[in-house]
Structure 1
Amino acid sequence: MTEFEFEYLRTFLKQRSGLALTAEKRYLVESRLTPVCRRFGLAALGDLIGALKLGQDSAIERAVVEAMTTNETFFFRDRIPFDLFRDTILPEALARNASKRRLRIWCAAASTGQEPYSLAMLLQEAAPRLAGWQVEIVATDLSTEVIEKAKLGLYSHFEVQRGLPVQWLIKYFTQIGEQWQIAQSLRSMVDYRQLNLLHSFASLGQFDVIYCRNVLIYFDAPTKSDVLARLAAQLAPGGALLLGAAETVIGLTDRLSPNPKHRGLYGHAEPVGRASEMAAPLRVAAGV
């Protein structure tokens, strides 16, 4: 693969998926796209890039994007965002939405489903508090391949060992040969859809909780700013946005602000005028 071909691929991936591929990741291109060459009967990466330039085979284009997209995930990944959902976000959302009794959650970049299913299990555990509520989990991903896997809810022994409490494996999964399948009742709680975060997602509507974790790290700053601004528009008043541990809104958007008590948790930024009004009485009280 020549330098010119690599630059073309970088531009293609940036436009199609937002992936900002740096020069030092050239080794990753070769390891992930060589199997794509074999699948489509192409002799070398140069032939694959030539096919992309022709723009006549959407299957090849989709395969390249999906091969280069990282789909690393596991149940209750990093744990804290899920403890936070159970102990803080869910109780606050139930109190806030008590009159309409509706809760909407969006897992963006849901990969093979472990994140939305982790939330589904937490909601199932909280079922008595949700009696009579309309609860919706929307899970999206760029890759149609991982979405199909997520819909099946079938996981290897290795996958269910990563982060899943053994008691919940027994409670919510059935062993099928060498794999484990999550219960149909939990699968039916999640609405999987293919979605590119670079495109409009306004049609999804607003959500009380949005998980968009460990995907912004692959974007450059302008793309991050654009996605965050549009996420803010989909976040209901008082809603919660959760990002990955290495992600932030600081310096990227003024529409969202970090929660001072919980790392990785964000909400709508307080308007400057409103913040000043709220701060003034506090200053007076402090001076008394």
Structure 2
Amino acid sequence: MTEITLAERIMRREQAVVALGLAAITGLAWLYVLTGAGTGMSTIAMTTWQFPPPRPAMAMPGAWNGVYWATMLLMWWIMMVAMMVPSAAPMILLYARVFRHGQARGQIGGAIVPTAFFAAGYLVCWLAFSLIATGLQFGLERLGHLDGMMMWSTNRWLTAGLLIGAGVFQLTPLKASCLTRCRAPASFLTEHWRPGRTGAFRLGLAHGAYCLGCCWAMMLLLFAAGIMNLIWIAGLAILVLIEKIAPFGARLATPIGALLIGAGLYVAAA
């Protein structure tokens, strides 16, 4: 009887290994966010139910040196990991299953590493978004429209514009197209499949691009409500998860868009 190696045992439990890995990444990301994301601030102090958030007497800019830039970039990226990995998990798990099935049929070799490359490609897309978001944060602080301490909008026109912009985007064909691809993992893999580790990474990039195309406007709402506002971080993460996974998720785009546009008009007129 042939002895089964540890590597073979792990590969036979591919789905469980990948699921545990995704759960660990998500849990660690949320822990990082909850403990202040390296900012030295309490996330409780930067969290409020009030919307628009209370305007401070004076907008305080951050100390934008090299360390602060790196801290803000890491804060945004890990926050995106915490928010987006749960909604990407079905796609990643399906990729692992398809790859494992191909390996069992002798068509391809290896399983765990290519799945990691797929996930890495997905996360690189959100790293690119985080870099842009960090630049926007710097610019908005310098213009006096964002408080550097509390990290939320101090300008009602900025808040209104972000809400209306996100609401309008919810109604666009681009939003619908990207959401459709995010909600159909099997169709996506059939259409974009590429072999090997490089192919897995490119496939992850493609899925990340669709995910980014679907959710970028929602993520920018953090500038309005508070970049480190736990209520909005959790709320947006749950909303994205419902949109992508729930059977009725695709039908939410229109009512959510209308709600955001209405909220933006209210803020502008208040």
User: TM-score over 0.5 for the alignment?
Assistant: no
Using CA pairs below 8 Å that are at least 6 residues apart, which structure has the higher relative contact order?
A: 2
Instruction: Point out the structure with max Rg over C-alpha.
Output: 1
Larger fraction in strand: 1
TM-score (norm 2): 0.26
